[in-house]
Amino acid sequence: MARESRRAGATGKNNGVLGTAADGQPIALAGIAIWAIAGGRLVHNWVERSAFELYTQLNN
């Protein structure tokens, strides 16, 4: 079984995510995805996003 991974990031403005007021503050979010591949087919995937990092940005 092979595994493939990708790291990604996104930026934008706060539109009220995670229960915060929509203040238009710039935000950034990072994450990683890992896919398990067997026989040329995707058999499982895992995704992790840095929600705590985003929450900390919005509450400082």
Looking at residue 19, its pLDDT comes to 85
DSSP assignment of 3-29? EEEEEEEEEEE-SSGGG------EEEE
Write down the pTM of the prediction. 0.66
pLDDT reported for residue 26: 93
Beta bridge partners of 44: 36
Local confidence pLDDT in tens for the 60 residues of the chain: 999 999 999 999 999 988 889 999 999 999 999 999 999 999 999 999 988 888 888 887
Q: Which two tokens stand for residue 11?
A: 């930026």
DSSP 8-state code for residue 2 = E
DSSP 22-60: ----EEEEEEEEEEEEETTEEEEEEEEE-HHHHHHHHT-
